[in-house]
């Protein structure tokens, strides 16, 4: 596999209090089948939480490559990463 799956986790205040902290643990404690295939990037507020009409309260937000995961949980992000790894195989 040439490129790693890029995982951009919003760690802005809103996303952090809504659960991003648990997702951050992927950086040091990812399941062994994906650990070598991911690049974790933590970002400040991506401003998605400020798009009141469509996004308010839909955090935490995580980008997995080009796909946005809303109401992200550790499990949802891991599943999306596995899908991305399969796509590139």
Using CA atoms, how far residue 33 sits from 40, 54, 73, 77, in Å, is 15, 34, 18, 14
By CB under 6 A, how many residues form the interface with ligand FES? 12
Per-residue H/E/C for 38-74: EEEEEECCCCHHHCHHHHCCCCCCEEECCEEECCCCH
Interface residue with ligand FES, options 34, 45, 68, 85 (CB under 6 A): 45
Q: Is there binding between residue 7 and ligand FES (CB under 6 A)?
A: no
In sequence order, the 6+-apart residues with CB closer than 8 A to the CB of 67 are: 80, 84
Residue 73 touches ligand FES, criterion: CB under 6 A: no
Residue with tokens 């796909």: 67
Closest to ligand FES by CB, 30 vs 46, is 46
For position 9 contacting ligand FES by CB under 6 A, the verdict is no
The correct pick among 59, 69, 72, 78 for binding ligand FES (CB under 6 A) is: 59
Q: Which residues bind ligand FES (CB under 6 A)?
A: 10, 12-15, 45-49, 59, 61
């Amino acid at each position: 596999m040439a490129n790693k799956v890029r995982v951009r986790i919003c760690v802005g205040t809103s996303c952090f209090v809504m659960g991003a902290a648990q997702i951050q643990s992927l950086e040091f404690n990812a399941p062994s089948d994906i650990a070598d295939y991911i690049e974790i990037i933590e970002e400040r507020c991506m401003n998605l939480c400020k798009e009141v009409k469509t996004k308010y309260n839909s955090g935490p937000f995580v980008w997995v490559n080009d796909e946005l995961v809303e109401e992200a949980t550790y499990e949802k992000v891991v599943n999306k990463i596995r899908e991305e790894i399969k796509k590139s195989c």
